[in-house]
Amino acid sequence: MQLSLDEVRRLTGPNLLSDYPGTIADVFIEGISQQEVIICWQKQLDYCLSSLGWQEQYFHRLYEGGASMSLSAPMDLLYSACDVLELAWDCCVDELKGEQNALKDERLLILQEAIKEEANPKLIILLNAARQHGVLCLSDDDEVSLGSGTGSQTWSIDDFPDASEVDWEQYAQVPLALITGTNGKSTSVRLAAQIAKAAGMQAGVTSTDFIKVGDTIIDDGDYSGPGGARMLLRDTRTEIAFLEVARGGLLRRGLPVNLATASLVTNVAGDHLGQYGINTIDEIAHVKLMVAKAIKGAGDFIVLNADDKRLVKFAPEFFLKDAVAPICWFSMHADNPIILAQIQQQRPCVYVDNNQIIYSYSSTEVIAQIDEIPMTVSGTAKHNIENALGVVGLCKIMGISTSAIHTGLMRFGQNPSDNPGRGNIYHVKGATVVVDFAHNAHSMQAVMDMAQNMANDLPKEGRITVLFSNAGDRSNTEIYDVANAVFGLQPDTYILAEIEEYLRGREMGEVSALVKSHLLNKGVASASIFETIDPIAGVKLAVQNAKPGDLLLLFVLAKREQVHTYLTGSTFST
């Protein structure tokens, strides 16, 4: 029997297991019934909660090789809640091993003192009052804020007003959208911000690349979690907010906010399997659909991909109480049965018909001609057509005009700075160069489909070169799947680039060796495969060997700014 604790962490918002903030623990279980472990763990939790005088709820989830247990808790006691959950686990392990935990009561006494120190009843009163007044209240270790964006105010955690002193009428919430999915999240938030700009609004954006208000980047880095959301929503320049919500942030902390005007799930595919007990694509779908929990107000909708079978299958589970689910569906196909049903019922939907993006909700509107939208690359980038459909639905739900949506679509993607690292096209030495951030098989295949259409227009002497990499925390199977997507294009040259900052437990050169061996087994000639120490070296090699009429696909997962600078330079040296 093996029982071990993987991680205990705070949940600051609605999460996979419940709608409440609290804490969660992931554990590994082997050689004993998972249900037996859960029953024992819950028994020990009951004892701890009773001893502390807590009346909180707990929830559990089983998965292959382990389980998760979450415990609800007041927002001012999340650290103590972590200790409670961990103590109950330690006592559970001892009991299952036939041992006594002699320190249990002593640890409970220590916890009682810690709870007294951590408790902030003034904050709880303010949070409850804000909820009653329908005002967003965000709190963390350092600050407390009321309202959002232009309608917000922020104080130090040590110096915020009593609830009875607050003029609740002065605080408002700006329109806010949560955007998630396996692929297309960053493109979607950036496109939505461009559309909002066309509507005369200053959009705030959080993403895995930066946090930005209007044209000002506040900071570079991964801000796809609740920390980035709080920073953005406390910025009084923000008039409308588009928050990229990544899988990691959802599982680590839960939703960044519990109320949104709209949410968008672009798609669901395999990525990061095996982390946080998420082992299947079905389970990923449930994680992504968590953003449905923020859709509660009349007229608020979640925008979902009707061509994604898992979203279609699992979305109803989040709206069991509603006769008509608040969903705006989008599809690449006008004859999709879900789209036909939405049109008949006069429910919102977005779809492609006769090379046009159509929005329907009681009446039908033509939004744009697809091959005229720059990001679709004359209609060849099918994945970006899907991204555009989702964002159109999102922006219509948020009240943005059709003319502004059309203008934003036509402005977005005309240069690499609009959407850095996503389908950026350069022309170098007479060759066409595509730079993209695709890093899993699903996103790689989407770009390959676009590239195949571009390859059909290459001159007879034109050759195809593909540069790609993998992060070390991907399984061998996931790494092979990426290589298979590239192989399907049958390029003339494969360039494998190592990424030292993404080794994540692997040795330098290990991933490239795996990929090279896999390609050789598939019949690729050794002379067609090159290995480089990093993406910059790989890009330089590709450009050095480029000839007029060639197509270069550069999947750059790191050092994108340096790559952009190099590709836009007047000379190309090694």
pLDDT over threshold 70, residue 279: yes
> Does 346 share its domain with 475?
no
Identify which of 341, 338, 289 has the alpha carbon closest to the alpha carbon of residue 318: 289
Question: pLDDT digits over 298-347, tens only?
Answer: 889 999 999 999 999 999 888 866 567 899 999 999 999 999 999 999 99
> Does 254 share its domain with 345?
yes
For 415, residues 6+ apart whose C-beta sits below 8 A from its C-beta are: none
pLDDT-derived band at 115 (thresholds 50, 70, 90) equals very high
**DSSP of 377-441:** TTTT-HHHHHHHHHHHHHHHHTT--HHHHHHHHHHTTSSGGGSTTSSEEEEETTEEEEEE---SH
The three-point CA angle 533-537-541 to 5° equals 125
CA distance 285 to 307: 14
CATH at residue 429: 3.90.190.20
What is the average pLDDT score of the chain? 92
pLDDT over threshold 80, residue 275: no
For 278, residues 6+ apart whose C-beta sits below 8 A from its C-beta are: 63, 247, 251, 272, 284, 287
3-state secondary structure of 251: helix
pLDDT over threshold 90, residue 270: no
Question: pLDDT digits over 131-159, tens only?
Answer: 999 999 999 999 999 999 999 999 999 99
Query: What's the Cα-to-Cα distance from 38 to each of 8, 21, 58, 73, 429, rounded to whole Å?
Result: 16, 21, 11, 19, 63
Q: Quick check: 547 and 431 in contact, CB under 8 A?
A: yes
pLDDT-derived band at 502 (thresholds 50, 70, 90) equals confident
- Read off the tokens for 404: 């502004």
Percent of the chain whose pLDDT exceeds 90: 74
Higher pLDDT, 361 or 503: 361
What length does the chain have? 574
* Structural domain for 312, as ranges: 176-418
pLDDT over threshold 70, residue 272: no
> Does 477 share its domain with 344?
no
> Does 220 share its domain with 317?
yes
User: Domain ends where: 118, 140, 161?
Assistant: 118
Identify the bridge partners of residue 435 per DSSP, sorted by sequence position: 424, 554
The three-point CA angle 8-231-257 to 5° equals 60
pLDDT value at residue 330 = 98
User: Domain ends where: 99, 118, 137?
Assistant: 118
pLDDT over threshold 60, residue 573: no
Is residue 313 included in any domain, yes or no? Answer: yes
Is residue 573 included in any domain, yes or no? Answer: no
Q: What is the pTM of this model?
A: 0.84
pLDDT-derived band at 571 (thresholds 50, 70, 90) equals low
pLDDT value at residue 494 = 96
Q: Quick check: 388 and 373 in contact, CB under 8 A?
A: yes
The mean pLDDT value for 193-199 works out to: 97
pLDDT value at residue 472 = 85
The mean pLDDT value for 398-402 works out to: 96
pLDDT over threshold 70, residue 12: yes
Is residue 29 included in any domain, yes or no? Answer: yes
Percent of the chain whose pLDDT exceeds 70: 96
User: Domain ends where: 77, 98, 118?
Assistant: 118
> Does 135 share its domain with 258?
no
Q: Quick check: 112 and 84 in contact, CB under 8 A?
A: no
> Does 338 share its domain with 192?
yes
Q: Quick check: 56 and 49 in contact, CB under 8 A?
A: yes
Identify which of 344, 407, 343, 414 has the alpha carbon closest to the alpha carbon of residue 199: 407
Question: pLDDT digits over 409-464, tens only?
Answer: 999 975 666 677 777 889 999 999 999 887 778 788 888 888 888 888 788 889 99
Is residue 380 included in any domain, yes or no? Answer: yes
Is residue 286 included in any domain, yes or no? Answer: yes
What are the E-state strand segments in 306-369? 327-331, 349-353, 356-361, 363-369
Is residue 328 included in any domain, yes or no? Answer: yes
pLDDT value at residue 460 = 83
Q: Quick check: 269 and 281 in contact, CB under 8 A?
A: yes
Is residue 574 included in any domain, yes or no? Answer: no
The mean pLDDT value for 214-234 works out to: 92
The three-point CA angle 548-550-553 to 5° equals 140
CA distance 179 to 207: 10
The single-letter code of the amino acid at 383 is H
- The total of structural domains in the chain comes to 4
For 134, residues 6+ apart whose C-beta sits below 8 A from its C-beta are: none
The mean pLDDT value for 171-185 works out to: 94
> Does 8 share its domain with 38?
yes
CA distance 82 to 380: 50
> Does 258 share its domain with 327?
yes
Identify the bridge partners of residue 179 per DSSP, sorted by sequence position: 244, 264
> Does 378 share its domain with 242?
yes
Identify which of 574, 266, 573, 557 has the alpha carbon closest to the alpha carbon of residue 435: 557
Question: pLDDT digits over 30-56, tens only?
Answer: 999 999 999 999 999 999 999 999 999
Task: Count other C-beta atoms under 10 Å from residue 30's C-beta.
Answer: 11
> Does 19 share its domain with 83?
yes
Is residue 572 included in any domain, yes or no? Answer: no
CA distance 456 to 377: 14
Cα dihedral: 229, 234, 237, 243 (round 10): 10
Question: pLDDT digits over 72-113, tens only?
Answer: 999 999 999 999 999 999 999 999 999 877 788 899 999 999
> Does 93 share its domain with 154?
no
238 backbone dihedrals φ, ψ, rounded to 5°: -75, 120
How far out from the chain centre does Cα 264 lie? 10
497 backbone dihedrals φ, ψ, rounded to 5°: -115, 130
Identify which of 541, 474, 566 has the alpha carbon closest to the alpha carbon of residue 511: 474
pLDDT over threshold 60, residue 9: yes
CATH at residue 392: 3.40.1190.10
Query: What's the Cα-to-Cα distance from 162 to each of 124, 135, 139, rounded to whole Å?
Result: 11, 15, 14
> Does 271 share its domain with 239?
yes
Higher pLDDT, 557 or 356: 356
- Read off the tokens for 69: 């247990």
